[in-house]
Chains A and B, each alone.
Chain A
Amino acid sequence: MATDPTVSLKIRTSLGEYLKRDPAAILISQHLRDDLGLDSMAVIELLYRIEEAFDLQIPDQDLVGLTTVGHVVTYVEKRLGKAPSAAPTKKPAKPSKPKSKKKS
């Protein structure tokens, strides 16, 4: 999977901090619940961190598809307009925000 290394690293670092694990040991293929042990509340907390890190707002309807680390990375890339061939499968919930200058 062609993923942006910056986005991927940032997400895995977020996960690593949350789970108190080495980000390098977190794989893109891992399932958030089955492999990493995140319950539904933990997924919500993780996404909260990711919203902060990328200055995004993730609408409720987008949560359903985010079940693996890879899903989250692809989703964020898509939202940031970085994916090489991001064919959106659903209508964006809102117009994408201008990229923030805020340091995360």
Chain B
Amino acid sequence: MRSRVVVTGLGIVSPIGIGVGEFWKAALAGQSGISAITSFDPFPMDGYRSKVAGQVRDFAVERFLDNAYGDRVDRYAQFALVAAKEALADSGLQMAKENPHRVGVIVGAGMGGMVMGEREITQLYQHQKPHRVHPNFIPTITLNSASGIVAMAYGAKGPNLTISTACSSSAHALGQALHCIREGRADVVIVVGADASITPLVFAGFCSLRALSSKFNDQPDKASRPFDRLRDGFVMGEGAGALILESAAHAKKRKARVYAEVAGYAATSEAYHMVIPREDGLEVANTMKLALADAGLTPGQVDYINAHATSTSIGDAVEAKAIRQLFKSRADKIAISATKSLIGHTLGAAGAIGGIASVLALHTGQIHPTANYDDPDPACALAGLSRSAQERRVKVAMLNAFGFGSNNAAVVLKQATT
């Protein structure tokens, strides 16, 4: 029989709080973490169409870590280290008592070490001094620097992987961790999603794609508005989320507090377009259906959806359409929320952070508001969306995440049964 997989620890670095307690309190209050980007030192924001983002302000890694692991990695990997530290402490897992080869690390990251990446590239091209490229450039920008450093920090010698599927990276990391534990290849997997690429080049790139909101530069907290009629693109965010996944037997043996069970997962490709979803929503609906089947559940059992909902015109409409297709009349009975309305789109971290919001919905019965859902777009109105926090008994939750490159992920979580 395959192992059941449970969540026993959570950790987060987000624009509305570092630490799960702070994050969840702010999320339930509908607090926005979106603010103006004042400058990309050394040049100003004038040339950018969008000027707002969900920034983690005043982050200094040494405030959170009592070791030097954060010193030689990029900002996104520092976020990963801090989130992983909190999640491990929260889980009560003591590495000294574990077989290190049975503890894995799977990180989802979309962009990786772009802070150093951009700096070094700029300097090389400006000054043409190849010998001045920093020796740590390659280890820093290699996309598995976060999964590597987290394993080193905690002595986790099991499977060590990085999933990079753009905006769905860490939803797939959760799914791959589920498979890994189910198949008996690890007892515990530290799952992290992390990205920190509110950097001049990446931000300009998303601006050029016309993917970012630009109408609310003067009202940053209004810019991210999934499913609302006035939405005009996503708002970039940054951060990290970490979840400790372990086999139910392992959690039971060490008498761990269990938040929820990770029950099912599906990964698909629309094989359609690099950045545009199929408008009929069929592939998204199918992905959710496959994840439910993997969990041995039916659409009629879902109580909550943490929507991908980035606040783009087409993306939200397609997701809403897919929810209607799959859940039919139940679609309006399901509570739905969009975490990106509060913190923006944290790219590779989004799946893990949405996963944390889902786990907390299951665990506490509270669902955070969808900020700025002021004027429901008829193309994607769903009755379960609310500008206010909701209290509901959530037994089954669905986490959606879709990424550039035409890929979809859905993860099903449910209340843990003993």
Indicate whether A and B interact: yes
Q: List A residues at the B interface (Cβ < 8 Å).
A: 20, 41, 44-45, 48, 51-52, 57
Beta-carbon contact of B135 and A51 below 8 Å: no
Q: Which residues of the other chain, B, contact A51 by a CB distance below 8 angstroms?
A: 131-132
Taking the closest CB of chain B, its distance from the CB of A103, in whole angstroms, is 15
A45 to B136, CA, bound (A): 7
Report how far A77 CA is from B146 CA in the complex, Å. Answer: 39
Q: Which residues of A contact B68 (CB under 8 A)?
A: 20
13 contacts between A and B (CB under 8 A): A20-B68, A41-B135, A41-B136, A41-B139, A44-B135, A45-B135, A45-B136, A48-B134, A48-B135, A51-B131, A51-B132, A52-B132, A57-B131
B109 CB, min distance to chain A CBs, angstroms: 22
Interface of B is mostly: loop
Question: A5 vs B393: C-alpha distance in the bound complex, in angstroms?
Answer: 72
Closest to A56 in B: B131
For A19, the closest partner residue in chain B by CB is B68
- Residue-wise, chain B 125-152 has the 8 Å CB interface mask toward A (1 for contact) of 0000001101110010000000000000
Q: How many A-B residue pairs have CB under 8 A?
A: 13
| Nearest-Cβ distance from residue A61 to partner chain B, whole angstroms | 14
| Contacting residues, chain B, for A52 (C-beta < 8 A) | 132
Chain A residues within an 8 Å CB radius of B134: 48
Please name the residue on chain B nearest to A51 by beta carbon.
Answer: B131
* Residues from chain A with Cβ under 8 Å of B139 in the complex: 41
Contacts of B131 in A (CB 8 A): 51, 57
**Smallest CB-CB separation from A58: which chain B residue?**
B131
CB distance from A57 to the nearest CB of B (A): 5
A41: nearest chain-B partner, CB-CB: B135
Q: Which residues of A contact B136 (CB under 8 A)?
A: 41, 45
Q: Which of B68, B134, B135, B139 has most chain A Cβ within 10 Å?
A: B135
Q: Output the least CB separation between B127 and chain A (Å).
A: 11
Residues of B251-290 whose CB lies within 8 A of A: none
Closest to A57 in B: B131
| Max chain B C-beta neighbours (<10 A), residue from A20, A44, A48, A57 | A48
What CA separation (Å) do A41 and B152 show in the bound complex?
A: 16
Residues in B with CB closer than 8 Å to A44 are: 135
Distance to closest chain B CB from A17 (angstroms):
11
| Bound Cα distance from A45 to B135, whole angstroms | 6
CB-CB < 8 A to A57: which residues of B? Answer: 131
In whole angstroms, what is the CA distance A41 to B68 when docked? 15
Closest to B136 in A: A45
* Least CB distance, B128 to chain A, in whole angstroms: 14
Shortest Cβ-Cβ A-B pairs, 3 listed: A44-B135, A48-B135, A45-B135
Give chain B nearest CB distance to A93 CB in angstroms: 12
Q: How far is the CA of A41 from the CA of B135 in the complex (A)?
A: 8
Nearest B residue to A44, CB-CB: B135
- In the bound assembly, the distance between CA atoms of A41 and B132 in angstroms comes to 16
Docked complex Cα distance between A38 and B135 (Å): 15
Contacts A44-B135, A57-B131 aside, 10 further interface pairs with beta carbons under 8 A come to: A20-B68, A41-B135, A41-B136, A41-B139, A45-B135, A45-B136, A48-B135, A51-B131, A51-B132, A52-B132
